[in-house]
Structure 1
Amino acid sequence: MPAVKRAASTNSVDVPVKRLDAGTIRKYIDLRKLDFDQVKRCSVKCTPLEVYCCLQCGKFLQGRGARSPCFLHAVNNSRHSMFMNLRDAKVYELPLNREVDTARDTLLQRLQLALQPQFESDRLQAFPQNCTDLVAGKQYTNGFVGITGKPQLVNYIVILLAHITPVRDNLLLCKQQEGTLVGQVTQFVQRLWSTTLLRGHVSPEEWVSYLQVHSRDWLDVTDPKLAFNWLINQLIKSPLQDTLASACRGEIEVKQTSRVVPFWNVTLDLPTSSATIFKDGREVNDLPQIQLSTLLQNKFDSDTAPYMFRSLPEHLIVYYNRHSGARLPFPVRDRNQTMVDFPLTVEFPGNHRYRLQGNLINDVVRSSDIATDDTNHWKLQLLNTNNDQWYEIDGPLVTAREQELLFLKETYLQVWRRV
């Protein structure tokens, strides 16, 4: 006789595991209605406790007991009988309240992986890889997927960090810490790199919802350096600290005092004389340009440079400062629009050779009203090292980009990997 399973909610009864045939299972499932990226909260009682997803309509409902929203939903709606627990991915048939054996059903197993992606350390070396989404059967590349919802700078910062290999591997293999910021970041990154998505894009809705409650101000930050430093300061309070330190932290020496200080990112100041020139920015040729090598030499590698590198990390984060720090009436319009000309491989002071991995750009939307400031429009350019192809993530859109044209946009934050 099969083992008896005890239902977790109140007013439930002990029921055996049930093995259903594939045809029966499929008539209870509508893939088009499912979305596991939503905040996991009961749509009736607004509670996050003991929540299930109806696999026929996609509603999130609580409990399995006789008076629970799940039970009543199954009783009152034909074919709404299959429910997946959003915490442990077990599947139950209601109103009979019995667990469904998923061991021999590939569709249910795939749905479980869509909810809770699984990763093995020996397979991460092959990432990124071509995948197929479950709903439409379309191809996508994990790690290079579009982001739905309102575009926010902090989301692109998370994606940029998720392309630093040691950080990515740590987050993919660690267990989620529920109810914490690190847990939300982990879940978001695991969806980004999932090979078993329902659709070829992800939503940061749960992560953003967490920030709205605990760190709302950071959703509206418009300075990539502030967003990056804030996120790093949160993550180093977690077990991720050692991984981040070994991958991204370096040291510089202040020449005037011989003091050695650690850094998480290197700030390069653009020439101030260009901040008030060519405000329209209509043509790239109209804008002042400067070489990355010149910026590095001026700050770190000349007799008059105020600093020198003492140690460089495996992954170097470079921030281009386009704001003077003064409070301006139109901070976006009055930004420094100098174009930075950078190669894809560069030698940093000390004969350290680095290759560009990620490039955060701002494709500013100009205001038609002179009394209204321009609007930031962030995009992220990432290198797929398996085929040397660059891709640009612009919200839900993922587009291949020519590497020779990357410097034609206003770059703000870059990730360089030592080669």
Structure 2
Amino acid sequence: VMAALKREREEAEAEEESPGTGSRGSVRGRRVRERLSVLDFDFEKLCSVSLSHINVYACLVCGKYFQGRGLKSFANIHSVQVGHHVFLNLHTLKNYFLEEENYREIKRPPGDIMFLLVQRFGELMRKLRNPRNFKAHVSPHEMLQAVVLCSKKRFQITKQGDAVDFLSWFLNALHMALGGSKKKKTIINGVFQGSMRIFSKKLPPPDLTPEEKEQLLETEEFKETMTESTFLYLTLDLPTAPLYKDEKEQLIIPQVPLFNILAKFNGITEKEYKTYKENFLKRFQLTKLPPYLIFYIKRFTKNNFFVEKNPTIVNFPITNVDLREYLSEEVQAAHKHTTYDLIANVVHDGKPGEGAYRVHVLHHGTGKWYELQDLQVIDILPQMITLSEAYIQIWKRREDSDEGQPREKGA
């Protein structure tokens, strides 16, 4: 753009110097100098109205910065009020002409705004991984603003949301923004997506006689069906928390091993699921394990009145969790590696809707664990991680190249 303006200025100066051009060349040269005097790209790229630095465009007529180019954006309002229709995207350096007849009927393709989420997330990851950062810290503010915009304020900076809801939305939003669909794969599918078989069987109404139940079970409607399904995370159900207190008049905090709640996916364990008018027995069997496996430990249940939190502690090892027994026999041969190591653990402390989140993260270079909460980062022993109320866990599949990596003692 600057080269084009410079070339236009040189042509205007040549017209001024050439004889016989009259006043037309001088007028054009004066207009070019006026445009160059108002265009200064050294200013901070902030919208002159909202002071936002996301999706900012420069008006090539007056030099002011405005956000967006939609119908309700500040750039479009400026173009209608003042009559300036030529704008420059300060990031891609593409020119846009607002309120032109040939552009008026073109609609923005669905999901186009989601590309901003991919862009901001990529920038944040590159800053985190850059060994030559000028600053010792990285601000996620631009990324958070993109989340607020792309989620239509479902997730906000000033209001804490549910971690699982955000994780599910974020992974699906990245998948769609990268051009993915149910059939088209992206890096999100390749990293986090697994598959399972779901066996479902409809139950007869409980008020029938045994003879009537047997007759219904022989019909096609009540026979067991099998469907293939994919998943980005596995939901682990906790046992019901006890209602009674112990001899010291204190509530008992139950504990359950991780492998007990993983038995839901062994293909044998059946669980009853109720709808508003029908009951089903379902069992699940894993058919494909992803490189990174996410566990969602379901702690919150909603009844007719309020949300309850299950305080059950899940006992789990930090390393060497083998999931081969949860695969069907015919697909075990296709999985050379089925052992997983924990790399991240999200913890929820406090009451439902009022608590706070903590994250335990493994540093691969040193094998040490760190606890992150807001801006506070401290070291933590691996033995302390298993005592927390785990909510979300991310496990990494161990490959041949991971056998010699350092591990924290006692892990």
Letter in 2 for 1:376: G
Q: Show the counterpart of 1:407.
A: 386
**Do structure 1's residue 187 and structure 2's residue 126 form an aligned pair?**
no
State which of 364, 380, 383 in structure 2 corresponds to 1:385.
364
Give how far 1:418 is off: 1.0
Tell me how far apart the structure 1 counterparts of residues 187 and 51 of structure 2 sit (CA, whole Å): 37
Q: Indicate if the aligned counterparts of 2:370 and 2:379 stay in contact, CA closer than 8 A.
A: yes
Instruction: Spell out, residue by residue over 1:38-88, the C-alpha distance to the aligned partner (whole angstroms, 9 max, x if none).
Output: xx5246773659989xxxxxxxxx89999879xxxxxxxxxxxxxxx9859
Instruction: Spell out, residue by residue over 1:18-41, the C-alpha distance to the aligned partner (whole angstroms, 9 max, x if none).
Output: xxxxxxxxxxxxxxxxxx9xxx52
Q: Indicate if the aligned counterparts of 1:178 and 1:184 stay in contact, CA closer than 8 A.
A: no
* % identity of equivalent residues: 24
State which of 334, 341, 349 in structure 1 corresponds to 2:315.
341
* Deviating more after overlay: 254-263 vs 287-296: 254-263
Tell me how far apart the structure 2 counterparts of residues 240 and 66 of structure 1 sit (CA, whole Å): 37
Q: Show the counterpart of 1:255.
A: 199
Letter in 2 for 1:253: R
Q: Indicate if the aligned counterparts of 1:51 and 1:63 stay in contact, CA closer than 8 A.
A: no
**Do structure 1's residue 396 and structure 2's residue 362 form an aligned pair?**
no
- 1:407/1:47 Cα in 2 relative to 1: closer, same or farther (>3 Å)? closer
Letter in 2 for 1:343: P
Q: Indicate if the aligned counterparts of 2:357 and 2:373 stay in contact, CA closer than 8 A.
A: yes
- 1:277/1:377 Cα in 2 relative to 1: closer, same or farther (>3 Å)? farther
State which of 207, 225, 228 in structure 1 corresponds to 2:167.
228
- 1:43/1:66 Cα in 2 relative to 1: closer, same or farther (>3 Å)? closer
Instruction: Spell out, residue by residue over 1:229-255, the C-alpha distance to the aligned partner (whole angstroms, 9 max, x if none).
Output: 111221111337421111111111113
State which of 254, 257, 262 in structure 2 corresponds to 1:288.
254
- 1:48/1:357 Cα in 2 relative to 1: closer, same or farther (>3 Å)? closer
Q: Structure 2, unaligned stretches of length 5 or more?
A: 9-31, 38-43, 66-88, 93-112, 181-185, 201-224, 271-282, 333-337, 399-411
Letter in 1 for 2:169: W
Tell me how far apart the structure 2 counterparts of residues 382 and 374 of structure 1 sit (CA, whole Å): 24
Tell me how far apart the structure 2 counterparts of residues 50 and 222 of structure 1 sit (CA, whole Å): 25
**Do structure 1's residue 363 and structure 2's residue 349 form an aligned pair?**
yes
Q: Indicate if the aligned counterparts of 1:357 and 1:383 stay in contact, CA closer than 8 A.
A: yes
Q: Indicate if the aligned counterparts of 1:12 and 1:65 stay in contact, CA closer than 8 A.
A: no
Tell me how far apart the structure 1 counterparts of residues 3 and 339 of structure 2 sit (CA, whole Å): 61
Tell me how far apart the structure 2 counterparts of residues 415 and 190 of structure 1 sit (CA, whole Å): 21
Q: Indicate if the aligned counterparts of 1:360 and 1:413 stay in contact, CA closer than 8 A.
A: yes
**Do structure 1's residue 246 and structure 2's residue 190 form an aligned pair?**
yes
Matches within 5 A, 1:299-378: 299-301=264-266, 303-305=268-270, 306-329=283-306, 331=307, 334-345=308-319, 346-348=321-323, 349-350=326-327, 352-364=338-350, 375-378=354-357
Tell me how far apart the structure 1 counterparts of residues 357 and 369 of structure 2 sit (CA, whole Å): 16
Letter in 1 for 2:359: L
- 1:196/1:308 Cα in 2 relative to 1: closer, same or farther (>3 Å)? same
Tell me how far apart the structure 2 counterparts of residues 259 and 186 of structure 1 sit (CA, whole Å): 36
Tell me how far apart the structure 2 counterparts of residues 344 and 48 of structure 1 sit (CA, whole Å): 42
Instruction: Spell out, residue by residue over 1:289-346, the C-alpha distance to the aligned partner (whole angstroms, 9 max, x if none).
Output: 100011112x0226334111111111111100012232543x3xx3011011110121
- 1:347/1:240 Cα in 2 relative to 1: closer, same or farther (>3 Å)? farther
Q: How many residues align?
A: 268
- 1:240/1:415 Cα in 2 relative to 1: closer, same or farther (>3 Å)? farther
Q: Indicate if the aligned counterparts of 2:241 and 2:312 stay in contact, CA closer than 8 A.
A: no
Give how far 1:207 is off: 2.4
Give the 3-state SS of the residue equivalent to 1:216 in structure 2.
Answer: coil
State which of 132, 155, 161 in structure 2 corresponds to 1:218.
155
- 1:196/1:312 Cα in 2 relative to 1: closer, same or farther (>3 Å)? same
Give how far 1:410 is off: 1.0
Give how far 1:4 is off: 7.8
Give how far 1:359 is off: 0.9
- 1:185/1:327 Cα in 2 relative to 1: closer, same or farther (>3 Å)? farther
- 1:47/1:286 Cα in 2 relative to 1: closer, same or farther (>3 Å)? closer
Letter in 2 for 1:319: Y
Q: Indicate if the aligned counterparts of 1:201 and 1:396 stay in contact, CA closer than 8 A.
A: no
- 1:255/1:390 Cα in 2 relative to 1: closer, same or farther (>3 Å)? same
Letter in 2 for 1:217: R
Give how far 1:404 is off: 1.4
- 1:347/1:287 Cα in 2 relative to 1: closer, same or farther (>3 Å)? same
Q: Show the counterpart of 1:41.
A: 46
Letter in 2 for 1:195: P
**Do structure 1's residue 207 and structure 2's residue 143 form an aligned pair?**
yes
Tell me how far apart the structure 2 counterparts of residues 251 and 67 of structure 1 sit (CA, whole Å): 53
Tell me how far apart the structure 1 counterparts of residues 262 and 376 of structure 2 sit (CA, whole Å): 33
Q: Indicate if the aligned counterparts of 2:342 and 2:394 stay in contact, CA closer than 8 A.
A: yes
Q: Indicate if the aligned counterparts of 1:253 and 1:307 stay in contact, CA closer than 8 A.
A: yes
Letter in 2 for 1:300: F
Q: TM-score, normalised by structure 1?
A: 0.54
- 1:272/1:222 Cα in 2 relative to 1: closer, same or farther (>3 Å)? farther
Q: Structure 1, unaligned stretches of length 5 or more?
A: 14-35, 53-61, 70-84, 89-176, 367-372
Q: Indicate if the aligned counterparts of 1:382 and 1:392 stay in contact, CA closer than 8 A.
A: yes
